[in-house]
A and B are shown apart, each in its own frame.
Chain A
Amino acid sequence: MQREARVRIQSSADIVTARQQGRSIASEIGFSNSNLTIIATAISEIARNIVEYAKEGEAVISLINDGPRQGIQIILSDEGPGIPDTSTVMRDGFSTGRGLGIGLPGARRLMDEFEIVSEVGRGTTITMKKWIG
């Protein structure tokens, strides 16, 4: 049975809960302290996007394997307005909200794998992974 946590994201307090859950689960498989901070920071950025643009969504945090490699996967999904052109929002400095336009490209830099799927009117799902070693 793989370890998994689900966090409902509707408020800024939930952003804190999601990143603390991510840190806690990642620590179970021995990520370094600096990687724990990196994982928590990436979750914080994406969870905030959900609160700001979609109002609510969910984070599903789980431990994953790829052969001998261990890692953590975080899926953040919402049923918000969606993003018309995901390549635009992945550029540094692009923002339609109150942000610095750093959230999505910044989170991608922090993680090993980062995938964004979005459909206008249907919502956005971001899957990000970090591997040990």
Chain B
Amino acid sequence: MAVPILKQSQYLIASIQSALSDEDLVKLRDDLADLVGRQRARGVIIDVTALDVLDSFATRTLRAIVYTTKLRGAETVIVGIQPDVAQSMVQLGLTLEDVPTALDLEEGLAYLNQRLAAARGRRL
């Protein structure tokens, strides 16, 4: 099932609605790499609240999305990892150390606003 991607000001919001197969995740990665350019987005939020499993493939693909969009000029933050999912990831040995995460959509937006404000400050 494809993930709907909405544009809100200079951000893209990918809101996962149901369990995703590996192909769905790879499509999300490719769609976002493309859309960041076409929509001239500066930030991306991936909302994984609806996901009941984040296994090694999903984690690896989320990390790839963060790196890919970064190379395309946008910051990405993952929001909504559920408590049970977080615990299971830690036991499995997955940490997402180098990937920005936030509690929910609101915190994710705050994070991106802050990152963009900091980037603007550096350019002045």
Q: Which of A78-115 contact B (CB under 8 A)?
A: 92, 99-100, 102-103, 105-107, 109-110
Tell whether, in the assembled complex, residue A15 and residue B92 are in contact, meaning their CB atoms are under 8 Å apart.
Answer: no
Tell whether, in the assembled complex, residue B88 and residue A34 are in contact, meaning their CB atoms are under 8 Å apart.
Answer: yes
Q: Does B91 contact A (CB under 8 A)?
A: yes
Do A23 and B21 contact each other (CB < 8 Å), given the known contacts A37-B85, A109-B92? no
Question: Which B residues lie within 8 Å of A92 (CB)?
Answer: 93
Question: Which B residues lie within 8 Å of A1 (CB)?
Answer: none
Do A34 and B87 contact each other (CB < 8 Å), given the known contacts A15-B21, A16-B19? yes
Chain A, interface size category, equals 20 to 34
- Proximity string of chain B (79-91) to chain A, C-beta cutoff 8 Å, 1 when within and 0 when not: 0001111011101
How far, in whole Å, are A48 and B111 apart by their CA atoms in the complex?
Answer: 34
| Chain A residue with the shortest CB-CB distance to B26 | A12
How far, in whole Å, are A105 and B91 apart by their CA atoms in the complex?
Answer: 10
**How many residues from B make CB contacts under 8 Å with A?**
24
Which of A12, A23, A45, A109 counts the most chain B CB atoms within 10 A? A12
How far, in whole Å, are A20 and B83 apart by their CA atoms in the complex?
Answer: 18
Question: Which B residues lie within 8 Å of A105 (CB)?
Answer: 93
How far, in whole Å, are A105 and B92 apart by their CA atoms in the complex?
Answer: 8
| Chain A residue with the shortest CB-CB distance to B94 | A102
- Chain A: residues with CB nearer than 8 A to chain B? 11-13, 15-16, 19-20, 23, 33-34, 36-38, 40-41, 44-45, 48, 92, 99-100, 102-103, 105-107, 109-110
Task: Kindly list the 7 A-B residue pairs having the minimum CB-CB distance in the complex, ordered from nearest.
Answer: A12-B22, A106-B92, A37-B84, A44-B55, A34-B84, A12-B21, A37-B88
Known: A41-B89, A102-B94, A110-B92. 7 other contacts (CB 8 A): A40-B52, A48-B22, A99-B57, A99-B60, A102-B93, A109-B91, A109-B93
